[in-house]
Structure 1
Amino acid sequence: METPLILLVLANFAFVALHFLMSHPLRVPMVSLLGEMGFQIVYSAVIIATLAGVYFAFIQSPEADLSGTGQVGWAIASVITIPAMVLFTGSLIGNPAMASPGAEKNARAAPKGVFTITRHPMMWSFALWALAHIVLHWSWRTTITATAVGVLALVGSRLQDRKKRELMGEAWMQWEANTSFWPKLRGFAKAGALPWSAGLILFVFLTWLHMPIGGIPAGIWRWF
C-alpha cells in the first residue's frame, strides 16, 4: 500500500477511535477535569483536527485506482443515497438522541416520521452514504474513508444506546422498546412529506455539488 493511503488509514483510525474514546470512556473524567464547556471545546478541537487530517490525507491519495462498478454501480449508489437523505433530514426534528431540553420528552413520545424506521436515522443516513460509496468501488481512498464513516455510524449508534440508557434511564429504555435499531423499510411510507421533500431536495443539491467539489458527476447528474 502506498504511503498516502497508509496515512489515510491512520487518519481515519484516529478520527473514529478518538471520537469513540471521548464520547464514551473518557467523557466522564474529561468533564470532571475540564467542566462541560471545557470538554466540548477540547472534544470539538480534536474532532476538527482529526477530520482535517482525513481530508488532507484523502486529497493526497490516488483519485481512482480501482476498476469501479460502472453505470450499474452509480445507479445502485444513487438509489441507496435517496433514503439516506430522507433519514438525515427527518432526524433533525424531534430526535431524542440529540442534546436538547426536550430530549426526554421526545423519548417518551410515540415514534413518528423517520423514527418509525429506526431510532438512529442520522447514524443510518451516514451508514447508507458510506455503503453507496463502497458500492461504487471507485478508489481505495473512497473505500477506506467510507468504511470508517460506516463503522463510526453503526458502532457509534450502539454505544449511544448504552450511554443514553445511563443518562436518561427509563425514558430511553421506553424509546428503545418502541423503536428499532435496524431500519424497517415499511417505515419509509410513514416518514412524512417533509423528510421526503427535504431529502429529495438535498439529494439533488448534494449530487450536483459533487461535480464542482469532487470533479465527478453523481446521482441524476450522471445521466442528465
Structure 2
Amino acid sequence: MDGTIITLIAANAAFVGTHFIMSHPLRAPMVKMFGDLGFQVVYSVISIATLAWVYFAFKAAPPSDLPGSGQVGWIIATLLTLPAMVLFAGSVMGNPALPTPQAKEQARAAPKGVFTITRHPMMWGFALWALSHIVLFWSLRTTITALAMGILALVGAKLQDRKKKALMGDAWQQWESNTSFWPRVGGFAKAGPLPWTLGLIFFVFFSWLHWPLGGIRAGIWAWF
C-alpha cells in the first residue's frame, strides 16, 4: 500500500480516536487535572493538530486512484448532500445536546424542526455528507477520510446519548423517548422553512466551493 495512504489512515485514526478518548473515558480525569477551561484548551489543541495532520496527509495522497461511480454516483451524492445540509442548518436551534443552560428545558419540550427527523441532526448531517463522498468512489484518500468522519459522527452520537443520559438524567431519557436516533424521512416535511432555506443556501454554496478549492465541480454545478 502507498505510504501516503498509510499515513492518511494513521492521521484519521488519531483524529477520531483522540476525540472519542478525550470526550469519554479521559474527559473526567482531564477536567480534574486541567480544569474546565484548561480541558477545552488541551482538547482544542489536540483536535486542531490531528485535523491538520489529516489535511496534509490528504493533500499528499493520490487525488483520483479509484474508477469512480459515474453519473449515478454523482446523482446519489447530490441527493444525499441536500438533506445533510438541512439537518446541519437546523441542528443549532433548540438542541439540548449543545452546552446551553436551557438544555434540560429543551429536552423536556416536544421535538420540532429537524428534531422530528432525529435527535442528532448535526451528527447525521456529517454522516450523510461522508456517505455522499464514499459513493463517488473517486479516490482512496476521500473514501478513507469520509469513512472516518462518518464513524466519528455516528459512533459519537451513540456515545453522546450515554453521556447525556448520565449528565441530564430524566430530561435526556424523555428526549430519547420523544425522538429517534435513526432519521425519520417523513420528518423532513416538518423541518420548517428556516432549516430548509439555510440548508439550500449551504447546499448551493458548498457545492460551488468544491470547484475553487478542489478543482472538482460538485452538486448541481457538476451539470453546468
Sort the TM-score into its range (normalised by shorter chain).
Answer: over 0.9
Q: RMSD between aligned alpha carbons?
A: 0.4
**Alignment partners' CA distance in 2, 1:212 and 1:28:** 42
Q: Secondary structure at the match of 1:51?
A: helix
How big is each residue's C-alpha offset from its partner over 1:118-167, in whole Å with a ceiling of 9 and x where there is no partner? Answer: 00000000000000000000000000000000000000000000000011
**Alignment partners' CA distance in 1, 2:83 and 2:133:** 14
| Partner of residue 197, structure 1 | 197
| Partner of residue 82, structure 1 | 82
How many correspondences in the alignment? 224
Aligned-residue sequence identity (percent) comes to 68
| Partner of residue 220, structure 2 | 220
1:36 aligns with 2:73: no
- Counting only pairs closer than 5 Å after superposition, residues 14-53 of structure 1 correspond to structure 2 as 14-53=14-53
**Alignment partners' CA distance in 2, 1:124 and 1:189:** 17
Match of 2:201, as an amino acid?
Answer: I
- Counting only pairs closer than 5 Å after superposition, residues 1-150 of structure 1 correspond to structure 2 as 1-150=1-150
Shift of 1:29: 0.4
| Partner of residue 152, structure 1 | 152
**Alignment partners' CA distance in 2, 1:216 and 1:28:** 43
Shift of 1:10: 0.2
| Partner of residue 187, structure 2 | 187
Shift of 1:103: 1.2
| Partner of residue 207, structure 1 | 207
Match of 1:196, as an amino acid?
Answer: W
Match of 1:202, as an amino acid?
Answer: F
Match of 2:97, as an amino acid?
Answer: A
Shift of 1:204: 0.1
**Alignment partners' CA distance in 1, 2:73 and 2:145:** 18
Match of 1:144, as an amino acid?
Answer: I
TM-score of the aligned structures, taking structure 1 as reference length: 0.99
